[in-house]
Structure 1
């Protein structure tokens, strides 16, 4: 019995196959071709969307966008690897009509069209809305850290600079001491004076540069800086601290399609609920919206802003304990009853805490020393001479949120199943747990927009099927 044999490489085919015969009817590249044909590249803002009348012809941005979408589907983000695919991959040959742009042209296209990629994402979201893939009933919001190009070694702070300056001063002092000893003749000819002086000049230049950096950071009020990628920030992640960007996403609950995403420099999520919720609402073009997020988005001011914009948030309130004792044995703020008419709190013993002062919008209440000194419950209330209580500037928004979460505890389970699916795909499938390839916010936004577009397109194919999706694209 023999093995299955291939054709002889020197054998000529009687009927040569065309590229089109090699590509199945429901193949990914046919979907990409159909989708790209819908786009108005000039309206989306792509560079060179209208060819010039004179000079050497440029590549059509439609062809380069096809190449990038295919590349992100296949976990190929490098411009050099995409150049190689153009010359050896039959699917890419079909998609581009055998065009083979060089890696510099491919890389420049991604670098120069960051805003246009984001506009393309929004256009596909609108297509999905009209196709019935987006319901708009519930949107989940979450953030995740993606590593930047720069490494942790490029991260500097005023404290690090001072340590480096002190180390440089010690080295300079050591070399100066060697020169002094040589001048006194204590080391004879063992020191190469010219080499020591050259090293000293180098160290003094480094010290001057260090001091200049300290002055500049202080003048600009910077607490950290990334050399070579000033837009990035060192952020805390579950696996440690890395130079990264915080990627925010708003995901529709119907089919886990990403409605809106944003690349931010904020290491925390507390200020992101309102802008992300409003952006999702604008994409959906609805008068009302329900959103859910985890406790990292807990912020009374943001809760109130969402409610004012007809957005109903579902976020677990994350608040510090207000018991004046640092332990659970003391009464918490929830044990005190607020009376709105008199703007005062009634304590568990029935005494009143009146307004003392306001601090940054928060209202601070206090009981009288006379009431606390004879109170039989004082040992369970405070160790101080009187009890103080702080009411948040948006306490009412926190209270409404607590009631909503008690009524809908399943929201946290829904949030996890909706928004963590896209991030898992983006990190494992598209980025391969790697980092961005382009520097600064502009570069990170270009890459993330391409990744989100590829994810949404893949998700739409999974839900509807290639044939039905292409039929809708016309």
Structure 2
């Protein structure tokens, strides 16, 4: 019995197969063709939309946009690899009509059209709204760290520079001591002064550079700086400290589509709740919105800002706990607040009156005499009197806690919505790798293309390629 045999390579054919016959009707490239065909690239902000009347013709930006959308969908982000795909991939040949731009043309298109990529990303979200893929009933917000191009060795911080300065000064002192010892030694015991002087000069040069870097950073009020990637910062990640960007997403609860994303350099999420919720609300064009996020977004000022914007937020409180007396003392919840008198009542029935304001927080204190004769003092405080602090937006925290108690399943819903996109982006698209482009502009361009590819994939998975093509037509 023989194996299945293929065609001979020199076998001719009376009717050569066309590219159209090689691409199925429900293929991804046909979805991309239909999507890009309905975009007004001039309105989106792409350059070279109108061909020049003189000079060498340029590539149509629609073709290069198709190439990038296909590439990011297929986990191909490198311009050199996209160039290779144009010459060997039948799907890309069909999509571009056998065009084969060089890698520099492909790379420049991504570099020069960052704002246009963001516009096309927003356009696809609006298309998803029109066809009913976005419900707008619940939006989950989350952030994740994406590693930047720069290496951690390029990271400078004032604390690290000062440690290096002390180390360099010790080495310089050691070499100077060697030179002094060489002056006092006999000729037979003399050290190699030339080698010592060369090493000393190198150390002094590094020391001068260190002081210069410190002075420049202090002049610009910078705590850290990354050489070659000034917009990125050293951040904590699941793989340890990395030079990275904090990518924020607002995800719709209906089909886990990303409504809005933002590239930030904030190392934490506690200032991102209201900006992301407001942006998602604008995308949805709704008067009110319900959002949920994890405890990293717990911030009284942000909670109050959401309420002012008619946004109902569900965020677990992330607040300091009682650490006095090994945690055996009365918690804040044991004290009741009276808004009419602006005072607290302790478990013994005594009042804690407002004593001072500290950075916006209100500090309340019990009478030292009341505490001295209180039978519950050992359960309350080790100090002479009990103090309580009330956040300037304490009322917003209290309303939040009531909402969380009324909806204990909200955190489970949050995880099922917002963890899905980041898992896909990091594992499926980036392969746990780093961004390829530098600075905010490059990171925004890459994330816009990545989010478009993710949303496109979700739409195809939910509706099917044929239905998406029909709706785009």
Q: Offset of 1:49 from its aligned partner?
A: 2.2
Paired position in structure 2 for 1:429: 428
8 Å contact 1:324–1:388 — kept in the other structure?
Answer: no
8 Å contact 2:325–2:381 — kept in the other structure?
Answer: no
1:60-139 equivalent positions in 2, closer than 5 A: 60-139=60-139
Paired position in structure 2 for 1:393: 392
**Could you tell which deviates more after superposition, 48-57 or 90-99?**
48-57
8 Å contact 1:356–1:364 — kept in the other structure?
Answer: yes
Q: Offset of 1:201 from its aligned partner?
A: 3.4
Q: Offset of 1:39 from its aligned partner?
A: 0.9
Distance 2:8 2:378 in 1: 94
CA deviation profile, 1:131-175 (whole Å, cap 9, x unmatched): 110010000001111111112111121222122223333443444
Paired position in structure 1 for 2:150: 150
Distance 1:400 1:168 in 2: 55
Paired position in structure 2 for 1:276: 276
8 Å contact 1:324–1:387 — kept in the other structure?
Answer: no
Say if 2:173 is the partner of 1:159.
no
Q: Offset of 1:447 from its aligned partner?
A: 0.6
8 Å contact 2:325–2:382 — kept in the other structure?
Answer: no
Question: SS of the counterpart of 1:282?
Answer: helix
1:39-54 equivalent positions in 2, closer than 5 A: 39-54=39-54
Paired position in structure 2 for 1:231: 231
Paired position in structure 2 for 1:337: 336
Q: CA RMSD in A?
A: 1.7
Q: Offset of 1:54 from its aligned partner?
A: 2.0
Q: Offset of 1:86 from its aligned partner?
A: 0.5
* Residue 335 to residue 216, structure 1, CA distance change in 2 (3 Å): same
Paired position in structure 2 for 1:2: 2
- For structure 1, the residue ranges without an aligned partner over 5 or more in a row are none
Say if 2:181 is the partner of 1:172.
no
8 Å contact 1:294–1:412 — kept in the other structure?
Answer: yes
Question: SS of the counterpart of 2:427?
Answer: helix
Q: Offset of 1:272 from its aligned partner?
A: 0.5
CA deviation profile, 1:269-321 (whole Å, cap 9, x unmatched): 10010000000000000000000001111111111100110100001111112
1:142-221 equivalent positions in 2, closer than 5 A: 142-180=142-180, 186=186, 196-221=196-221
Question: SS of the counterpart of 1:468?
Answer: helix
Q: Offset of 1:399 from its aligned partner?
A: 0.5
1:278-317 equivalent positions in 2, closer than 5 A: 278-317=278-317
Paired position in structure 2 for 1:359: 358
CA deviation profile, 1:15-37 (whole Å, cap 9, x unmatched): 10111110000000000000000
Q: Offset of 1:183 from its aligned partner?
A: 5.2
What TM-score, normalized to structure 2?
Answer: 0.96
Question: SS of the counterpart of 1:365?
Answer: strand
Paired position in structure 1 for 2:141: 141
8 Å contact 1:155–1:226 — kept in the other structure?
Answer: yes
Question: SS of the counterpart of 1:291?
Answer: strand
Distance 1:267 1:199 in 2: 39
CA deviation profile, 1:166-215 (whole Å, cap 9, x unmatched): 33334434444555555556465986655554444333222211110011
Question: SS of the counterpart of 2:357?
Answer: strand
Distance 1:74 1:454 in 2: 9
Q: Offset of 1:216 from its aligned partner?
A: 1.0
Q: Offset of 1:242 from its aligned partner?
A: 1.1
What TM-score, normalized to structure 1?
Answer: 0.96
Paired position in structure 1 for 2:441: 442
Q: Offset of 1:468 from its aligned partner?
A: 0.8
- For structure 2, the residue ranges without an aligned partner over 5 or more in a row are none
Paired position in structure 2 for 1:347: 346
Say if 2:244 is the partner of 1:244.
yes
Q: Offset of 1:243 from its aligned partner?
A: 1.1
8 Å contact 1:83–1:100 — kept in the other structure?
Answer: yes
Q: Offset of 1:376 from its aligned partner?
A: 1.2
8 Å contact 2:274–2:303 — kept in the other structure?
Answer: yes
CA deviation profile, 1:314-373 (whole Å, cap 9, x unmatched): 01111112x472533211111111111111111111111111011111111111111111
Paired position in structure 1 for 2:457: 458
Q: Offset of 1:95 from its aligned partner?
A: 0.5
Matched length: 473
